[in-house]
Amino acid sequence: MLARASQLFLPTLRDAPADAEAVSHKLLVRGGFIRQLSAGVWTFLPLGWRVHQKIVQIIREEMDAIGGQEMLMPVLTPAELWEQTGRSDIPEIFHLEDRTGRRFVLPMTHEETITFHAKEIQSYRQLPQILYHFAVKNRDEPRPRGGLLRVREFIMKDAYSFDRDDEGLDISFRKHAGAYDRIFERCGLEVQPVQAESGMMGGKESIDYLAPSGSGENTLVTCEHGDYAADLEVAHGIPRPPEFPAQLAAPAEIHTPDVTTIDALAAFLGVDTAATSKAMPVVTSDGTVVLGLVRGDDRLEEAKLAAALGSAVRPATVDEIRAAFGADPGSLGPIGFAGPVVADESLREGQFVAGANTTGWHLRGVEAGRDFAPRFADIRESKDGDACPNCGGRLRFQTAIEVGHIFKFGSRYSEPLDATFVDEDGQEKLLIGGSYGIGPGRIMAALVEQRHDENGIVWPAAVAPYHAHIVGLAGGEEIAAGTASELAAYGFDVLLDDRVGRAGEKFADADLLGCPVRVTVGKKSVEDNAVDVRSRAADEDTRIPITDVVTWMEEH
C-alpha cells in the first residue's frame, strides 16, 4: 500500500495546541492523527484512523482465536431495556427522544442489548458463547480530558460471554485474560494486569489492565520485587509502624485550643503523626453518618470505605457533623459517637490520640477494643513509603491509563431481562455472563505516552500508520517514487513524501509521525544508486544500495 503525502489529508502542526498537557494529546494533534470537535469528542483523521484500525485488527484476530464471534449492535437503544436493569439512572447515560416522545439511550456498554439477544439461547447445547463487536460508546463524562485519555464518545471492543455455570464463566474469563495479554504484547504496549475495584454493579472477579504513562487517571501500585500490582483504589500497602508514647490505663483529656490539623496536633503534643488518629465522617446513601477512622498520617480511601459499607459515601457537611458529634471538625473521635465506626486495620494495635468530640479537646491513650468498638477494614489510601503486603519490599506508584477491563457479572443482566436456558437436567436456569472491554483509542494514546522522544512518536511496527516513510528530496523524486512502489509491491505500507519542500521540514515531519523506518532519497542517489535508511528509534543513517532496501526492511 502506497500513500503520497502530496495528496494526503495530513495537517501537521509546528506548535502543539496551547491547551494540551498530555504528551499523547500534543503529539497526536501535531502529527495530524486526531482533531478535536468539541470537549471530549474527537475525529480520527486518515493517519490516526490507520493506527486505530491496525490496533482493531490485532484485537479482532486475538478475539477470533479464542472463539469470539464478531457482530454489530446499534448505538440507538430503547430506554425500557435500561430501565429493566436499573441502569438508566446512571448519570453518564445520554438520553434522547424520537419525534413521538419515545425514549432512547446512547449506551455506555452493551450488556442490555447482548442479553436481549441472548434470550434466543434455548439450550445448554448452544453454550458457551463469546460474542463481540467494535462499536461507538457514549458517556456523558462530567470532565473529559487529555485528548484521547478521557472522552465522551469512543470506539470500544466489548465482548460478552454466556455460560451454563460459574465453572464455564471461569473458563471464558481466563480465555479473555489470555487474549488480552497477547493483544497488548502484539501492540507493543507495556501493561500491568491488576485486581480491580469490582464496582457497585454486580462485579465479582475483575481485572483492570493499566498502562504506565506520563498522564492518566489511575495510579498503578507495584512492588519493587515484582510480586504485587494493584490499582491505588484497592492497593493494600503496609504502613510504617508508629512511634507510640507511653501507654495509659485510660484515655486522658487534653485541652488543645485552636489545634485542628494533624500536624498541629502532633507538634502540640510532641508525638508522631502516625500515633494520632484522623476522623473522617461520611454519609451513606441512606443518610447514615458513619465515622471512618484512619491514622493521622494516612488519607481515607473513600472507594474502600464505600466497598466496606456496600454503599456510596460522601463527606459529611459541617452541619451534619455538628449534629452527629456535638463538636466541630478537628476535634472529632470515636468515643462518645453513637453511630457506626469503621476503623482502618492500622488502628487495631496500640494507643492513639483522638478527638474528644468537644471542640478544643482531644484524648490521649485511646485504644480500639478497650475504649470503643469499631468494625475494622482496610480503608486507608496506600502511599509512598508503604511496604509490599507480600514481601515487605518498597511499593512504587505510577500514573497509568486503564486500557482494558474484564469482569464476571454472573446473572446481573440475565435475571432482570429473564434470559434463561434449559440445562441438561431439564431445569430452566439463568445465563451466566462476563463482559470484556478494551479501548483501541486509549491503547493508541498509551503507546504514544510510552514511546516517544523530543521529536515525535516512535510507533511499534505492528501499529504504525506506515512501515516506511520515504523522504524524497529535490533531485531524487523519481528514484524515491520507484523505491516506494517497490516496497509497496513487497507488501509494505509506504508513505512517500513527494511534497514540494525542503529537507528539514520533511525530516521533522518524519520524526513527528514516527514510522519505524525512514528512507531518504536525494540527488546523490542518482549517482551512486544508494539511499539512506534509519530506524526511527536510531539517530544515524546507514547508506545502502537501493537494491538492498527490501532486505533491510525485512530485517528491521
Partner RNA sequence: CGGGGUGUAGCUCAGCCUGGUUAGAGCGCCCGUUUUGGGGGCGGGAGGCCGUCGGUUCGAAUCCGACCACCCCGACCA
Q: Where do contacts with RNA occur on this chain (CB under 7 A)?
A: 12-19, 21-22, 25, 36, 38-40, 87, 90-92, 108-109, 111, 139, 141-146, 150, 158, 199-203, 217, 302, 312, 314, 405, 407, 409, 435, 437, 455, 473-474, 476, 501-505, 507-512, 520-525, 532, 541
121 vs 306 by CB, closer to RNA: 306
Residues 6+ apart with CB under 8 A from 169: 161, 163, 408, 410, 432, 433, 434
Which is closer to RNA, CB of 191 or CB of 356? 191
Q: In terms of CB distance, is 213 or 525 closer to RNA?
A: 525
Nearest of 518, 548, 516, 515 to residue 530 by alpha carbon: 548
Cβ nearer to RNA, comparing 394 with 524: 524
Cα–Cα distance for residue pair 348/26, rounded to 1 Å: 48
Task: For the CB of residue 110, give the shortest distance to RNA in the complex, in Å.
Answer: 9
Quote the CA–CA distance of 208 and 223 in Å, as a whole number: 17
* Cα 449 → chain centroid: 13
Nearest-approach distance from CB 445 to RNA, in angstroms? 12
Q: Which is nearer to RNA, 22 or 354 (CB)?
A: 22
Q: In whole angstroms, how close is the CB of 449 to RNA at the nearest point?
A: 14
Q: How many whole angstroms separate alpha carbon 533 and alpha carbon 527?
A: 17
Name the minimum Å distance from CB 394 to RNA: 23
Select 102 or 314, whichever has its Cβ closest to RNA.
Answer: 314
Least Å distance, CB 295 to RNA, is: 19
What dihedral angle (degrees, nearest 10) is formed by the CA atoms of 104, 56, 168, 198? Answer: -60
Cβ proximity to RNA, 243 vs 505, nearer residue: 505
- Give the nearest distance from C-beta 358 to RNA in angstroms: 29
**Cα 125 to Cα 111: distance, rounded to the nearest angstrom:** 22
- Phi and psi at residue 19, to the nearest 5°: -90, 5
Record the cell numbers describing residue 437, joined without a space.
Answer: 472491554
Angstrom distance (rounded) from CA 44 to CA 357: 57
How far apart are CB 151 and RNA at their closest, in Å? Answer: 9
Check: CB of residue 459 under 8 Å from CB of residue 516.
Answer: yes
With beta carbons less than 8 A apart as the criterion, state whether 294 and 280 touch: yes
Question: Do residues 380 and 298 lie in contact, with contact meaning Cβ atoms separated by under 8 Å?
Answer: yes
